Structure 1
């Protein structure tokens, strides 16, 4: 189970890192023209970049506390925060009629829920 949790955590961290870097560094017009990025035209650049920073921090929060052995309880806490972020993403994409992206966000939410459950109940970090 520990291996499955690490795989799920790694996958989610890669998703968070990719989304964060994209939102932080890709110009707004290019981001809005990308598939699933149309929502960014409805929000200010500062908001989109802030989401990017949060996603970047989520990637770090999913991996670094456990790898470094410093406050590993932050891994499931970060996963809970990711769940909240995905609820917002699902609402945003749902309002735009982008059901494919709603389903994708639901998958990310399920991965995060698995990490929370796994790290708090099934295989908590010890130490």
Structure 2
């Protein structure tokens, strides 16, 4: 086995780990946003009280992104959709950062930055 092959296999393993971790995180967020009451969400995330429609829309986007990160490659049906899902997550996290900064909640964007960075890693690795 050449060094290039072992690097490719190792990279693929790390990409799958990143994809599953990110998909599980997004699935959790979607479940929270789509199943919790407005009061429960406001207790967790204060911004949700003023933006109930945005909460539901982002919940649906989170669910679609989670599916897009793993299902296309897992099922080997249009695997390029995984790359597009990673780009979509990057755009979503950038939007979330801007949203929170505009509301004066800049210290709250750390999670969004980390999720965006993981999505960027997936996009970089799956583009290769």
Normalised to the residue count of structure 1, the TM-score between the two structures is 0.87
Aligned to 1:5: 15
**What is the DSSP-based 3-state SS (H/G/I as helix, E as strand, rest coil) of the residue aligned with 1:70?**
coil
Q: How far does residue 97 in structure 1 lie from its aligned partner after superposition?
A: 3.6
Larger radius of gyration: 2
Do the aligned residues in 2 keep the contact of 1:20 with 1:53 (CA within 8 Å)?
Answer: yes
Aligned to 2:40: 30
1:1-127 paired onto structure 2 within 5 Å: 1-34=11-44, 37-43=45-51, 45-121=52-128
Q: How far does residue 91 in structure 1 lie from its aligned partner after superposition?
A: 1.5
What value does the CA root-mean-square deviation take over the aligned residues? 1.2
Which of the pair has the greater relative contact order for Cα pairs under 8 Å at 6+ separation? 1
Distance in 1, matches of 2:22 and 2:108, equals 16
Normalised to the residue count of structure 2, the TM-score between the two structures is 0.87
Do the aligned residues in 2 keep the contact of 1:20 with 1:51 (CA within 8 Å)?
Answer: yes
Aligned length: 118
Do the aligned residues in 2 keep the contact of 1:80 with 1:113 (CA within 8 Å)?
Answer: yes
Task: Write out per-residue CA displacement over residues 20-54 of structure 1, whole angstroms, 9 at most, x where no aligned residue.
Answer: 111001111110111xx1111221x2321121011
